[in-house]
Structure 1
Amino acid sequence: MAHVPHPLTQYVQRLVQRVRAVDERRPLVWDLLVTGFFVTAGGIDFAGGGWRNVAHNQDVPGWLVLTTSLGLALPLLWRRRHPMAALAVMVAFGTLNSGTGAMLQVSLVQLIVLFNIALRLPLRTLGGAGALMLVPLLVGTVRYPKGSWDQQIVPQVWAYTLIALLGIAVRSRQDYTQALVERARQLEVERDQQAQLAAAAERTRIAREMHDIIGHNLSVITGLADGGKYAAAKSPEHAAKALDAIGSTSRQALAELRRLLDVLRDDAPEAAALAPQPALTDLTRLIDGVRSAGLPVRTTVRGRPDALPQGQELTVYRVVQEALTNTLKHGGPGATAAVELSYADDGVTVTVTDTGRAAPPPSASARDGRGLTGMRERTALYAGTLETGPRPLPATGWEVRLHLPGTTAPPHATAPKETAQ
């Protein structure tokens, strides 16, 4: 059960907060009010003759009493900007007050300056201020001894000490509060930065997925459309098959795009999370689609494809997809491609080569743009390596080689399986 503060405590806290608010907004006005109050109190004490009730010497001239009273009260106006100078002036008039035996009560305002010094200045300055305040006390004790020394000095020293400790306590509380406020501000900044980083990472992931989905399927559709255009005049049956393949590829791309966009919906996040991601079992359908677009692809699998983490399977799928898409775009007429998957103890290795152009045209940036960046980002997630570039001479074409480390079972001694079309 939460602790509920007492109504009186709440009232005092609200009152203190209001006073602090006024002090922070208009410090000069507050200083004038405080100084004016004590100047008025000292003037009333002088005019009414009340100071004689506690004075050791009632024959002190009136002008001297008034001057001493003003000298003790007026320095309060500079207690913030020049606290030690204000205290020095007060101590001088306080010494005059004790030495003449007037013993004006307005001399207690020195405690306000002492509190400000403890609140704002270093502790070594506070020690010097305390020693300075002992001068009027010692002068009054020597000039007008009354009882033992400890009866005159010790109570005053205790009062100075308590005021100094109060200033230190308030200062510690303020420092602690400021530290909490600064920590809260830093946490807020870090939270905003984390949110921005998370949003940027999510935008990058979505852009990468959309590039892989839309870029590949549009390349396949473009190849099918070009093939169907040439086949329409000579072989209507082949043209119809191309149109069917275009429709199937378009529907597949639309389904994947909808699944990706569902992630952005707030009303159905769970359904989006349940949608399956492409895996190694979908490579056959991917390669068949590329072949139907007019690119001959030969596949080779070495070793036994043991189970890989879903993320690694998606990385392999996307790298193969992007490499074949680039061949469709930039390989040129008559290009062929080969996909080789090798499973071993140290992980899985994928090599995609083609016999097209050794380098993309100057206007093309797919092999060194968002597609390559996406492949590198996916590879880095699993501490893998990715190598891309022209094939070594005398061969022509482009090569993409991906290696993802992992702990897989030893490959079985089986002959490599090849599929070509």
Structure 2
Amino acid sequence: MEKRPGAREESLSRYIQRQSQRVRAFDARRPWVWDGLLTAFWTAAVLVDAAGGWRNIARDPSVPLWQVVAMSLAFSVPLFWRRRRPAAVLALMAWAAFLSYWTGAFLQAGLLQLVVIFHIALRLPLRTLVWTVSRIVPPLVVGAIRHPQGSWDQQIVPTLWVYAMVALLGIAVRSRKDYTAALVDRARRLEVERDQQAQLAAAAERTRIAREMHDIIGHNLSVITGLADGGRYAAAKNPEQAAQALDAIGTTSRQALAELRRLLGVLRDDSAEAVRDPQPSLVDLETLIEGVRSAGLPVRVEIGDDPEARPSLPAGAQLTVYRVVQEALTNTLKHAGPAAEAAVVLAYGEHDVTVEVTDSGGAGTGGSVTVGQGQGLRGMRERAALYDGTLEAGRLPAGGWRVRLRLPLESLRSLKDSRS
């Protein structure tokens, strides 16, 4: 198997990143371990230097040994607190540096101040770096005055440059950490937003499916129930009408099964056949109303205006009108009683499209469904809200029930233009 170029480097990089993450995680849990090891290492190093090596660069090799050891420990031991109290540690080291330059020992342990300056640049506000100058410069000036060797700038400026470079390194590392933290936070927020969008989309899809299932099953079962009741009464007196009722039941059942297969096909595999299968539209209103009439409910239909002057509604808006009429007539079949009559009025205005479905209530409850309750009314309101429409439902003063849907044409046109 041929290896992809750079695969070894990527694997090594991932290994190093993984080990680095483990070390950082361990340090976050037990910071005292790393602080103790670092402090112990530098303490041992400065004590070795205090044993005699410091005299190689000292301006005054006659400094007492106890004083050299004390100054060396003052440089190394405070490193244990460098991450928690870097400013205080630098202040303590500044006194040790002042004594080192004053006595002429010029201990190399003074370079440990660079570690503290790095942590100040990494952890504290940047203005604190300006304050550190007052801790670093005075010892250097004292050493240049008491123990001159060459020009003053040769003794002070190089050391200041080293301090500045370390401070810049700390700032660079800090900027990189802040940038990485910002990316991680952004990725986390995007992940949360993605999960929220997925949950909202799933909830919206469940609501849509519930609406479709309620409309399909509820209406067709109500029609079948009405046909079955009528056929039962007609069986004894008029077998021909009973046979017609059975035929209508079969037709309605097959239509319901076809619609359910279409809906389940979209849910199952999003097949092209399921997508191409058209949803009901205003053209299918006549078939819907004929089915309701065959179930025993007289329905009067009024469609206003010249048919050629009617605006062309989007398919979704036509489906909304169809489902509202379907649900309203289904409720009439279930609740209005056997003597009820219904009317469907569809009007095309200059600014809106309205459809009103009313029933007389008959000898039944007159539409006993309470406004705002039940899946049907809620589903109708949700459909209307998709197109900035409104839906009103309630009892009529003279008895019966009314459902009125209004869809503004401006919203429908803008929706159609955005999709075209």
TM-score, scaled relative to structure 2: 0.90
User: How many aligned residue pairs are there?
Assistant: 402
Q: Which sits farther off after the overlay, 397-406 or 7-16?
A: 7-16
Rate the CA distance shift 1:133–1:4 in 2: closer, same or farther, 3 A: farther
Alignment of 1:33 onto 2:72: no
**Who is 1:399 aligned against?**
402
Q: Indicate yes or no: 2:285 matched with 1:283.
A: yes
**Partner residue of 1:323?**
328
Mark the runs of 5 or more structure 2 residues left unpaired by the alignment: 414-420
Task: State the partner residue of 1:335.
Answer: 340
Whichever residue aligns with residue 294 of structure 2, its letter is S
Q: Which amino acid aligns with 1:70?
A: L
Distance in 1, Cα, partners of 2:170 & 2:125: 12
- Seen in structure 2, the aligned counterparts of structure 1 residues 97 and 18 have a Cα distance that, compared at 3 Å, is farther
Separation of aligned partners in 1, 2:102 and 2:20: 38
Give the corresponding residue for 1:78. Answer: 81
Q: 2:261 aligns with which of 258, 263, 273?
A: 258
Cα offsets for 1:139-159 (capped at 9, x unmatched): 211211112211111111111
Amino acid at match of 2:78: P
Q: Provide Cα deviations, 1:352-378, integer angstroms capped at 9, x if missing partner.
A: 1110057544xx558732111111111
Matched, 1:147 2:150: yes
Which residue number corresponds to residue 388 of structure 2?
Answer: 383
How much has 1:402 moved relative to structure 2? 1.4
Q: Deviations over 1:65-100 (max 9, x none)?
A: 111111110000011111111111111111111111
Kindly state the Cα deviation for residue 23 of structure 1 after the two structures are TM-superposed.
3.4
- AA in 2 matched with 1:39: T
Deviation of 1:272 (Å) = 1.6
Q: Relative to structure 1, is the Cα distance of residues 367 and 291 closer, same or farther in structure 2, using a 3 angstrom cutoff?
A: farther
Match of 1:352 in 2: 357
Flag the 1:248–1:7 CA change in 2: closer, same or farther, 3 A.
Answer: closer
Tell me whether 1:90 sits opposite 2:93 in the alignment.
Answer: yes
The more displaced of 124-133 and 22-31 is 22-31
- Counterpart for residue 416 of structure 1: none
In structure 2, how many angstroms separate the alpha carbons of the residues matched to 1:128 and 1:71?
Answer: 21
| Aligned pairs for 1:36-115 within 5 A | 36-47=40-51, 49-115=52-118
CA contact (8 A) 1:326 1:367 kept: no
Q: What amino acid maps onto 1:301 in structure 2?
A: I
- Distance in 2, Cα, partners of 1:97 & 1:7: 47
Following TM superposition, by how much is the alpha carbon of 1:18 offset from its aligned partner in structure 2, in angstroms? Answer: 6.2
Q: Bigger shift: 306-315 or 325-334?
A: 306-315
Identity level (%): 62
Q: CA deviation at 1:270?
A: 2.2
What one-letter code is carried by the residue in structure 2 that aligns with 1:269? S
| 1:189 alignment partner AA | V
1:396 CA drift (Å): 2.1
| Equivalent in the alignment of 1:225 | 228
Q: Is the 8 A contact 1:130 1:160 kept in 2?
A: no
SS of residue in 2 equivalent to 1:334 = coil
Q: CA RMSD in A?
A: 2.5
Measure, in 2, the Cα distance between the counterparts of 1:109 and 1:22: 25
1:172 to 175, 178, 190: 175
Q: Secondary structure in 1 aligned to 2:297?
A: coil
8 Å CA contact 2:352–2:406 kept in 1: the answer is yes
In the TM superposition, what is the alpha-carbon distance from 1:295 to its structure 2 partner? 0.5
Task: Tell which deviates more after alignment, 184-193 or 77-86.
Answer: 77-86
Secondary structure of residue in 1 paired with 2:268: coil
Q: Letter of the 2:179 partner, please give it.
A: Y
Letter in 2 for 1:292: S
Amino acid at match of 2:89: A
1:193 is displaced (CA, Å) by 0.2
SS at match of 1:90: helix
Which amino acid counterpart does residue 135 of structure 2 have in structure 1? L
Q: What letter matches 1:261 in structure 2?
A: L
Whether contact under 8 Å (1:304, 1:343) holds in the other structure is: no
